[in-house]
Chain A
Amino acid sequence: MAVGLVLAGGLGLFLRIDPEPAVPSGRGADPGAFLGPGASGSLASSVAALQQRVREVPDDWQASASLGLAYVQQGRITGDPGYYPKAAGALRLSLRAQPENADALLGLAALASARHDFDRALDYGQRARDKDPHDANVHGVVGDALIELGRYDEGFEAFQTMVDTRPDTASLSRASYAFELQGDRKAAITAMRAARGYAGNPSDAAWTSYQLGELYLAEGRVRKAADAFRDGIRIDPTSIGSLAGLASIDLARGDLEGAIARMQEVVARFPAPEYVIALGDLHTRAGDAEAAERQYDLAKVEADLFRDAGVNVDLELALFFADHGDPRQALAAAEAEWAKRESIHVADAIAWALHVNGRDEEAARYARRALSLGTEEGLFLYHAGMIELGLGDREAARQYLREALELDPWFSILGVPEARRALARLEGGR
């Protein structure tokens, strides 16, 4: 709580102050140039310029570090993991030329996070921070890793330092996430709007619009959410998240067919697992089991591919398997992840996996842990409600389910109708 107040204080201060960075971003080859405001021109042209520079002067460790970070960024924007090996190569090149340089360590931390290797991300991030504590971005990567590892207090502190060092899109969007995790969605929206104000290039602006859309949708403000998603697409037509967001809007407005068509377009353009599963769920809701199965099969194939490439997707898989008829695999995946990190998302996954295996007693403990930060996450509340129902505590179940639908009315495609049905039964049977 104390941390939350500190964060609010610091943020409030900056939101009142002029939009001037507290610490100017100095050097020209600063990797921060790709991350925050001031990044002008397209990333692709920056990459091309940096490639040229490194080709001519392979010893320029700042250029190769910037290039590595730019590759990570490109992987983020395009969703093409093919950039990551290149990023690793460029960053290693930079470290060879200048051992332990902060820019390259920062890039390696970002890369490890992208690969879901949060322990390593923390290690690199802390080494970068030791070298250059005045760079806002090092606090960002450290905070990201800490949050994913479930070390929330330290993570929020790192975000606070980042915002204090430089209020910009990168830091303010992290502040927004911190607020959201702690159940203060209003503050999360305010911070994300500020983050959008600082966006220095179209892809950042589109990304923050998409995030705003998600936050508004969680608030139940469907029209505002739709506007934000449309903004995102207008600013950057390749913004796939916003397109998927519009499918959620269709669904929220009761247009299941429209949602399916929109999600099919998303999957045709970029078949990331979360979109594939979402399309399967939409088909399931429409009663088309065969079409749904095709998408679920694809999701399983993707899981195989990720595992084959040594990528950890246990958290995502646990929920998928729990919801799609493989309780044993679900539990195995969730337990494997819990052994690595004890975040609220993993707690929720293990709770739900235990529930589908009929072990509600243990599940309840994890479900409470998932809600311990006060996050207004409909999925967590819904899971807690169903677990209480399994334990026979109808009053607790009713409360959780009601909260889920009130606080986060569109939390999941299949969960929402399920929660409504269960709640109707509970209230009707009273």
Chain B
Amino acid sequence: MRRPAALLALISGLLLWSPTAASAHPLGNFTVNRYAGIVVSRESVLIDYVLDLAEIPTFQERSAIDLDGDGVEEAELQAWSREKAEAIAEGIELVVDRRRLELDIGGAAASMPPGQAGLPTLRLEVTFSAPIAGVRSGELRFEDRNEPDRLGWREITATGTDGIVLTSSSVPGSSVTDRLSSYPEDLLSSPLSVTMMETAFEPGPGHGDGGAATPTASPPLSAGGSLGVLVGREGALLMALGLLVAMALGAWHALLPGHGKTLVAATIVGTEAKVRQAIEAGLAVALMHTASVVALGVSVLVLERTFRPETLYPWLGVASGAVAAAIGTHLIRCRWRFWEGSGHHGHVPGSAKSVDGHRHLAAPADGFLSRRGITALAFAGGILPAPSALIVLIAAIESHRATYGLALVLAFSLGLAVSLILVGLGAIRVRSGMQHRFSAGIVRLAPVVAAAAIVLVGVFVMARSLASI
């Protein structure tokens, strides 16, 4: 078996080596060509799959089709289509929100168009489907693992329909070969070789649930779920209602685990801040959050597909965690100096007048929470935008309702601020309550414990973000 290969190879040495030669078919008689057209709707993911075999692979497949050896009959062809479709389905990985979906075979039809030298070719068209009812937004990944080594054109397209839009698809929406029916013979293009794609999808603008804002299937705020619905609302009353709902959602959002409130509360306790500072801190966080959402939203829109916010999230998380840890460390250090220096408060902002008449607990008038401290707190608490708020803004801008989108985000952030301020005020109440009920030692320790908690939260957020990078 050595000779023919070696001979042909050596004919031309390295400069060129072709075991075969030119052919009339633009992609060669050897090719196995595949196309997958992915369509995401609210109910399901449909895959329009085409397998186009050139003359030689068709001949290789013949014995699998013509089982009785008396020529290919229609019934045999259809039976083969079915079998082949099942085999193809095995080699396809369709993952929506990290869950691999089973593919149903909707229809499979094969035909044998004539090819070169009086030989047939083989074309199989299959429709696969996978239900995704209830998952109206998320991530989708598709990979075709069928016969990776065969020569051929491999193309994938993806579109959304029925009110679903794809936000970051890695493949185009339309086929350059018209579903493998006309291959471009352009001198300056190489055969496509795309075997996988990724995209995020979500309900498109103006395609909410139709009537009233009744988020049924998706839980509140799961990646733009109910908040996204708000963008589509029209009319002054509905808009006002929308703003109110956004504010409520923001307030609710702040109370969900891991959203800055621990940070704010602990900081208030740790710095012995006052009401004014608690309000400032809450507003600052809200402002920061709005700015962050807007900045991220604009970069997503300007940079289009090259930029994916998901990739930025973990880094924002790291930054947020680092700042929180720094705040906590700083507070512990200040507290330490305050005790040690007893009156020597060069490093501590404010003076050492007593607070609430408790001399031994005396702290600076403004507590330990300086303007800079508030800024840092806002940064730590607000830099990580709520994904839902981000999506709302993008959707609003894309549907030319940017102002309303901005207003919604602002309302959302305001709600967030209100929640945080309430948390801060609550913390002040608890602190002063403690001062009356507990021993001086515990009261003295509380700010230190709180500062330590801030450090811990920061480290935790950092670790979690790093783990997801």
Residues on A lying within 8 angstroms of B by beta carbon are: 35-36, 44, 47-48, 51, 54-55, 67, 72-82, 84-86, 89-90, 93, 110-111, 113-116, 137, 140-141, 144, 147-148, 169-170, 173-174, 177, 180, 195, 204, 207-208, 210-211, 214, 217-218, 238, 241, 244-245, 247-248, 251, 263, 267-275, 277-278, 281-282, 294, 297-298, 301-302, 304-311, 313, 316, 319, 345, 377, 379, 410-413
Contacts and interface: CB of A to CB of B under 8 A. Distances in A.
Given A79-B30, A85-B22, A174-B14, 9 more contacts: A47-B190, A54-B188, A77-B17, A238-B149, A263-B1, A294-B63, A298-B60, A305-B117, A306-B20
A218 B3 CA distance: 10
B14 A35 contact: yes
B56 A301 contact: yes
Contact of A79 (B55, B151, B185, B189): B151
Given A89-B187, A274-B8, A110 B59 contact: no
Interface string B21-39: 1111111111100000000
Contacts of B15: 35, 110, 113, 137, 140-141, 144, 170
B192 interface: no
B361 to A, nearest CB: 68
B1 A113 contact: no
B191 interface: yes
B61 to A, nearest CB: 11
A398 B13 CA distance: 34
26 contacts: A55-B188, A79-B18, A79-B19, A79-B20, A81-B23, A82-B25, A173-B13, A174-B13, A208-B14, A238-B149, A267-B60, A270-B150, A271-B56, A274-B19, A275-B1, A282-B1, A294-B63, A301-B59, A304-B117, A304-B118, A305-B55, A305-B56, A308-B24, A377-B3, A412-B2, A412-B3
Interface in B42-90: 55-57, 59-60, 63
B4 A248 contact: no
Residue of B23, B55, B189, B190 with most chain A CB atoms under a 10 A cut-off: B23
Interface in B150-197: 150-151, 185, 187-191
A305 B23 contact: yes
Contacts of A268: 60, 147, 150
A54 to B, nearest CB: 6
A111 B19 CA distance: 13
Contact of A345 (B2, B7, B20, B149): B7
B13 A170 contact: yes
B259 to A, nearest CB: 45
B451 to A, nearest CB: 54
Given A82-B25, A82-B26, A271-B30, A316 B4 contact: yes
A110 B16 contact: yes
Nearest to A307: B117
Nearest to A177: B10
Nearest to B191: A82
Nearest to B56: A271
Given A44-B190, A110-B16, A141-B15, A247 B21 contact: no
A365 to B, nearest CB: 22
B119 A114 contact: no
Contacts of A275: 1, 5
Contact of A86 (B17, B119, B150, B187): B187
Q: B interface, how many residues as a size bin?
A: 35 or more
Nearest to B185: A85
A385 B394 CA distance: 81
A294 B119 CA distance: 16
Nearest to B189: A51
B71 to A, nearest CB: 14
B381 to A, nearest CB: 45
A306 B21 contact: yes
B11 interface: yes
Contact of B5 (A86, A114, A241): A241
B6 interface: yes
Residue of B1, B3, B147, B151 with most chain A CB atoms under a 10 A cut-off: B1
A298 B57 CA distance: 9
Contacts of B188: 51, 54-55, 67
Contacts of B147: 268
Contacts of B63: 294
Residue of B12, B25, B29, B147 with most chain A CB atoms under a 10 A cut-off: B12
B29 A302 contact: yes
B403 interface: no
B116 interface: yes
Nearest to A311: B21
A51 B60 contact: no
B341 to A, nearest CB: 63
B279 interface: no
Nearest to A298: B59
A51 B150 CA distance: 24
A411 B2 contact: yes
Nearest to A277: B4
Contacts of B23: 81-82, 305-306, 309, 311
Contacts of B14: 35-36, 169-170, 173-174, 195, 204, 207-208
A137 B14 CA distance: 10
Given A304-B117, A308-B116, A309-B116, A411 B3 contact: yes
Nearest to A415: B3
